[in-house]
Amino acid sequence: MRTAVLVPRLTLALAAALALGACSKIETTDTAAADPGHASGEHGSGSSAGLPPGNIAAGEKRAQEKGKATGQSCIDCHGAEGNKPIAASYPHLAGQYADYLAHALQAYRAGDRDQALMTPQAADLSDQDIANLSAYFASRKGELRDLHGLE
């Protein structure tokens, strides 16, 4: 009888541990500059996007480089530090979760997410580029707000 009660509890505990592990953030090598809510620290478990640790400084540099496909840089369209997009339909990148940004860039690169500018722009990004860009924009102070608790 005890085993019948213990097995569901162990299964529930294992499921909870796996769910928490799936919520990991991108690891960054620039933990001092990173917002701990948006990128994991030096002992982080890495990225749920399967990427190497991101480097914020390298991401900032890459965000300013012109892409071969469009001749635009990230900041040309999304604004300085990802806070001032040139069009209302362009997302604010600053303060977004690094894993969200990484997954979006990976989807654009793979062609699973299609957008006239982003799909070709992301096509030549390496995994390290994506990790760096994601770490950089996640570390920026953003204008995004948590809607939790709003009525």
Q: Which structural domain, as residue segments, surrounds residue 86?
A: 24-139
Nearest to 133 by CA among 122, 145, 144, 147: 122
Give residue-wise pLDDT tens across range 41-72.
333 345 677 899 999 999 999 999 999 889 99
Tokens 């950089």 belong to residue: 136
Task: Report the C-alpha gap between 9 and 149 in whole angstroms.
Answer: 32
Q: Does residue 9 belong to any structural domain of this protein?
A: no
**What CATH number has the domain bearing residue 52?**
1.10.760.10
Angle at CA 115, nearest 5°, toward 129 and 139?
A: 40
State the pLDDT at residue 74.
96
- Give the max Cα distance, the chain: 68
Per-residue pLDDT, 9:
60
The one-character DSSP state at 125 is -
